[in-house]
Amino acid sequence: MIFRAIAYSTDELWSDSKAMERVVFVDADTRDDAKLVLSKSLTDLWRVPESSVEFYNLESEFEVMSRALGPASTGDQRLFEVGCEQGQPIYTGSRAHDQPLLLLNDNLHRMTLAYLSLPKE
């Protein structure tokens, strides 16, 4: 199952601080497993202390899809929704510094296809 969270580091030397925070996707069987994967993966990726990695809005793909704005016909694109403007979904990755992190193994191909199919601004 895919889990999505918004993550950041409080470490002052965090190299990705320009982004302020990232939408991160991970594969996990449970929410508790997803928390562990997020902490470990982001600690290694960002080269920061584990205590500085924080995240919020950790949700399963089913939770994200259940409140998505896009119609069912948009499929997995709905997992990338981060807001709306004039009744239309806004997707992560619309700006260069807010690209999502796809820290996936089992679902990498599926999510890459969905990401590449997002509407372009």
SS3 percent helix, strand, coil of the chain, rounded to 5, is 40, 30, 30
Say how many residues make up the chain. Answer: 121
Instruction: Note the pTM of the prediction, 2 decimals.
Output: 0.92
Of residues 113, 93, 90, the one with CA closest to residue 101: 93
For 31-65, the pLDDT digits (tens) are: 999 999 999 999 999 999 999 999 999 999 999 99
Annotated domain spans of the chain: 2-68+95-109
Which tops the pLDDT comparison, 70 or 111? 111
By the 8 A CB rule, do 26 and 103 touch? yes
DSSP-derived pairing of the beta strands 22-27 and 101-103: parallel
Residue that has been written with the tokens 């999505």 in this structure = 4
